[in-house]
Chains A and B, each alone.
Chain A
Amino acid sequence: MSTTSRAVSAPGAVPARKSKLRTRIHPFLFVAPSVLMLVVLLVLPLGQAFLRSFDSVDGWGFGNYVRAVRDDRLARLAIRHTFYFAFFSVVGQYLIGFMVALLLNERLPGRGLIRVLFMVPWMFPAVVPGIVWRWMFDGLYGVLNEILYRVGYYGPNEIPIAWLGQTSTALPAAIVANIWRGFPFMMVLLLAGLQAVNPDLYEAASVDGANAWQRFRAITLPAMRGISYVALLLAWIGSFMNFAIVQVMTAGGPANSSEVFATLIYKNAFLYADPNYAAALGILLLICLMIPGALYVRATLRNSRA
């Protein structure tokens, strides 16, 4: 860890004549504003939500939690949808992001421009992806159905699919929007990883007679393991707690077929006027995020020390 190895020469410790108290107070004064701010603005409200989550209709206790995991069919459904949404989003984002990153790592004319164009989906404000995909998936006037119609997918008198209006396709449609939205960030991270690979390795492997696939498996894949790990965790966390895309596209419907954790929390807190139960659901969401969150934090802290 660089910080400990540098500790001896840390500026706070350099002027030996300064008193111990003064050198100790410097880091405190530097760090205090942001830590205090986060405690007041983040930890205290979180603590309040935590306390309220134990305040249920049948008194103080685990009532809301029992309700969420045992009695509330909708909560169980939403949790399942959330895993489904996150899993397929992450797989899609990773595969497409990796493919594009490999492509952009090649020598292509106009590579800079192509890279910018691939980043376009990521440029939009968070609500816009949901909005535009909702419009494109529209059952009646959506452009997707028009394209499908023109390529002959629908017969002349066939009724086009209402993608967001039927239970079997609403969640997959939201996943498509989320993949579109999220793959550019994946691509940026993976491309940075690819560009950090020493090109001599490929050269040496070529000289030794390795073909493209062998070079990819023996050099690229192992080199990408670290960055892939971090990128996948980030994508998982982002998709798992996604609110904007699902809320704007389907608001969890139809018939709760695309209800995810975040939309259910929102509904309970602000439409069903049950903020205590919503807080319990929120704490459950936080618990679900703890393992990937801790892994991400650990990996990033290790990275930043290297």
Chain B
Amino acid sequence: MATYAPVTTPIGSGRSLATKRRISLGLKLLLAALLLIPTLFPMFWIVISSLKTNAETHTLPVTFLPANWSIQAYLDVFERRNFARYLSNAMIVAVATTAWGVGVAAWSGYGFARFDFRFKPAMMAFVLAAQSFPRILLVIPYFQLVNRLDLKDTYLALILAYSTFIQPLCLWIMKEYFEQIPRELDEAALVDGASPYRAFWDIILPLARPALGATAIIGFLTAWNEYEFALVLTSTERVRTISVAVASFIGEFTTEWNVVMAAAAVATMPLVVVFMFFQRQLMYGLTGGAVKG
């Protein structure tokens, strides 16, 4: 008895601790599941609705799985609605804005990270503010300028307009990254007689390749998502981007919801791909400014 007592007690309490832990784990998973249902339901609903026939989306009672699975909506999106054009428009604008934005951002980001100069704090504040500038105000002068310069329905107009927020965004992310690269590296090059431009180009830029990638991904996503400028600066399908196209499918006459949902799914597809492959870079770039480490 006496020999058992000290042994059984810890085992007994250990067991109850384990059950306690298991219960608390179960509760946490249950809570996660409960929160995930409303989080994921809209995505589920996009897919389900897009696979119904138009008649079924306008039938009661609402079915939670299509009675007749149909890819008609997707065919419609590409055949009747010329969606390939909207996709390639969005792609062209996003890629061009990003390439230009990242290039300038890397160059200037280095300047912000390594030098001190007059008005630097003010300029950095300006760069930050420009990232979340109310676009709905900016579209008004842009609409007029673009009309006056005869740039309506051109890629150039969208690329210039998108640069107002993509470029400062990229600049900030690059600056943050350059600041993490030890200064000794470029200093060594300077002592060897290289110009700062050479130090930047030969030493720092190659080191910053992962940041260039992360920045490009964020720039691309932000450009792909844009709605206000694309809505106002395009009037035909020539350069209209996918965001505007998807929104414009609603209520032309009566809304064909299966087509709208298929369009939404197609518009989201590239982002899903980017998201799956570049999740880590994405997290780095997006929290880089606000959270250290």
Contacts and interface: CB of A to CB of B under 8 A. Distances in A.
Contacts of B4: none
Contacts of B71: none
B136 A38 contact: no
Given A100-B35, A141-B257, A121 B42 contact: yes
A19 interface: no
Contact of B275 (A31, A123, A129, A261): A123
Contacts of B32: 103, 108, 114
Q: Is the interface of A mostly helix, strand, loop or mixed?
A: helix
Nearest to B276: A116
Contacts of B17: none
A231 B290 contact: yes
B112 A31 contact: yes
Given A37-B163, A134-B250, A46 B291 contact: no
Interface residues of B, number: 106
B108 A278 contact: no
B39 A117 contact: yes
B66 interface: no
Interface in B59-116: 59-62, 64, 104-105, 107-108, 110-112, 114-116
A173 interface: no
Interface of A: 2-4, 6-7, 9-12, 14-15, 24, 26-35, 37-38, 41-42, 45-46, 48-49, 52, 96, 99-100, 103, 106, 108-109, 114, 116-121, 123-136, 138, 140-143, 145-146, 149, 180, 185, 188-189, 192-193, 196, 227, 230-231, 234, 237-238, 241, 243-244, 247-248, 261-262, 265-266, 269-270, 275, 278-279, 282-283, 285-286, 289, 293, 296-297, 300-301, 303-304, 306
Nearest to B161: A41
A38 B168 contact: yes
A127 B243 contact: yes
Given A38-B127, A188-B283, A31 B136 contact: no
Interface string B222-262: 00111110001000000000111011001000000100110
Contact of B137 (A46, A128, A306): A46
Contacts of A9: 183, 187
A190 to B, nearest CB: 9
Contacts of B126: 35, 38
